Amino acid sequence: MTSFQNSRKSISIYGLTWSMPMLVWQLLFFVFPLCFLVGLSFWVVRNYRMTPDFDPVNWIKMYNKGYFWDAYFRTFVIASMSTVITSVIAFPCAYGLAFKVSANIRRWAVFLLIIPFFTSYLVRVYSWQVILGTKGVVNGFLGYFGLGPYDMLFNLFGTLVGYLTLCLPLVVVLQLISLASIDKRLIEAARNLGCGTIRTVFSVIIPLAKIGLIIGAVFCFILSFGDFVSPYYLGGSKPPTLSILIIDTTKSGQQWPRAAVVALTMIATLLAVAFTAVSAAYRRPK
């Protein structure tokens, strides 16, 4: 009995030792900044200078502003659209790489999907301005057929293109990892029982890959919900999303406490969405 307890104690110490870097990282770069942000949201600005206080006036004023809720629901809807579109586009790509190509081609495909992350996201967004502009590559090509020019920048379409640029490679990789881990014998059994390709996908493959599909969607929503670059440089920044509203608020009389209210609202929303989605991903069917 004593040896068993000593073994458990050594395992706990071993696990704690290896988990310390992660714990320290979370404390330094998430918990402490979050606590400071909460405290900052109760400060007040007097004569363009922040004064430490504990006054809920910033929460009351921001939550009573119609433009705040307009920006909130706009951001939530656009991020949801981005998540659905990205997941739908990514699934056929991940499915083909997982089941229709050789392992060598799959490795090269993963490598090519990772390459875009070697470059700055801002640089990739700027490149879309050249491609999607009224005199850009796409409109120039359509002009040969007597079409266009079409406005593809500084609107919802431009914003969604930027979100796809940010999220699509990552979602494909996450879905691919989940699909590639499925036991192929289960798919063969479904087909032997008379299931067609579509029914096999929806009845066997998607339920088995549910965790990876949901995690990929969560990452896409988080990145889209908090992104500033695409709605600003490709969406035109008007009407604003929450990330743009934070910038506008800080420029308006140095209202950093009110910007903290917006930021905390975003964090609370993302935590709620992530918790709900992960709970659904790991929920076992009854």
The count of domains in the chain is 1
144 within some domain? yes
* Alpha-helical runs (H) found in 57-183: 57-63, 66-99, 103-114, 121-132, 137-143, 156-180
Domain extent for 138? 66-282
Rounded Cα gap, residues 81 and 163, in angstroms: 10
H or E stretch at 45: strand 44-46
CA-CA distances (angstroms) from residue 266 to 100, 227, 229, 241? 40, 11, 16, 11
**What percent of the chain clears pLDDT 90, i.e. is strictly above it?**
72
Phi and psi torsions of 204, nearest 5°: -120, -55
Q: Does the pLDDT of residue 30 top 80, yes or no? A: yes
User: Residue 168: what pLDDT?
Assistant: 96
Q: Does the pLDDT of residue 178 top 90, yes or no? A: yes
- Tell me which residue of 169, 174, 172, 171 sits closest to 115, measured CA to CA: 169
User: Residue 4: what pLDDT?
Assistant: 43
H or E stretch at 49: strand 49-51
CA-CA distances (angstroms) from residue 141 to 37, 111, 131? 49, 30, 10
Span 95-101, mean pLDDT? 93
- Most confident range (mean pLDDT) of 84-88, 198-202, 234-238 is 84-88
Tokens of 264: 């905390």
77 within some domain? yes
Span 260-275, mean pLDDT? 96
Task: Evaluate whether 259 touches 246 at the Cβ level (below 8 Å).
Answer: yes
* pLDDT, tens digit, 9 for 90 and up, residues 202-244: 999 999 999 999 999 999 999 999 999 999 999 998 899 999 9
* CATH code, domain with 233: 1.10.3720.10
267 within some domain? yes
Task: Evaluate whether 236 touches 153 at the Cβ level (below 8 Å).
Answer: yes
51 within some domain? no
97 within some domain? yes
User: Residue 18: what pLDDT?
Assistant: 74
Span 171-189, mean pLDDT? 93
2 within some domain? no
Threshold 0.95, pTM exceeds: no
257 within some domain? yes
Phi and psi torsions of 107, nearest 5°: -65, -45
3-class DSSP state for residue 238? coil
Helix, strand, coil in percent for the chain, rounding step 5: 75, 0, 20
Rounded Cα gap, residues 279 and 286, in angstroms: 14
User: Residue 17: what pLDDT?
Assistant: 73
Q: Does the pLDDT of residue 31 top 60, yes or no? A: yes
11 within some domain? no
- Tell me which residue of 119, 123, 224 sits closest to 171, measured CA to CA: 224
User: Residue 252: what pLDDT?
Assistant: 79
